[in-house]
Amino acid sequence: MRSSATVLMMTLLVSLPGFADEAAGVAAEAVKDEMVEAKKSKFKDAWVHPDADFTRYNQLMFAPTADWEFRDVGQGKTSRTNTYSTNSKNQYGIREEDREKFKQTVSESFLKEMQRSKKFAIVDTAGPTTILIKAAVVDIVSNVPPEYVGRSEVYLASTGEATLVLELLDSETGAVLAYVEDRRKIQPAGSSGSLNSFSMPSNSVTVWSDIKRWARSGASRLRSSLEKAQKG
């Protein structure tokens, strides 16, 4: 049976309320008025409150809602007509069932990585030593063409791309401690971002492995950043 913390994390990463716009607006004001850019962050863009004291926290609580935003590039298709495909720029619609699988895959992979922390316990109640994390995955795009019925090969420099948005708050006061926007490509294993003679064909198995690795990487950066900040 899943623990309540696990269920809460799954709810966080599978719910669909409009958190992103609200969070971005709140964080934007905080960044302008109170926060400073974290120049040595593991994330692409990160800001912290100058008075934030992460040494006093040892628990993480995830907000019960999150947002998933897929870029509108047209309806997802189930098949294509050409047998051979290379792609580094084209964007394809994502079918509803694949969107749901994306959410679940990212959810489970993110949670598994966060649970590796030996410094922070995941809890489901606010407290004086608990950080509340609000999250969103937005502007999700896919570079994966529809499947072709029969033998075919697809070579991908990038499986897709998405932005991870994180807002960290004191769970009791609601004070914003840090804010992150991290846009990265979802790349095949060993990819340098471009196709070459060593590139391997992609398929449904490798694509979902790429997505799992992307989610674990984001969670790993969050986990290690929090653990480092906790040390002071």
The answer to whether residue 12 scores a pLDDT higher than 90 is: no
Strand partners, 136: 67, 165
- Tally of CA atoms within 13 A in the half-sphere of 56 that contains its CB: 10
The answer to whether residue 28 scores a pLDDT higher than 70 is: no
pTM: 0.80
Q: Which residue's entry shows tokens 């934030």? A: 52
Helix axes 96-114, 4-14, angle to 10 degrees: 140
Lowest-confidence pick of 10-24, 73-87, 160-174, 203-217:
10-24
Arithmetic mean of pLDDT over the chain: 81
Cβ 162 vs Cβ 213: under 8 Å: no
Distance CA 48, CA 175 (A): 11
The answer to whether residue 147 scores a pLDDT higher than 60 is: yes
Note the pLDDT of residue 184: 96
Note the pLDDT of residue 90: 81
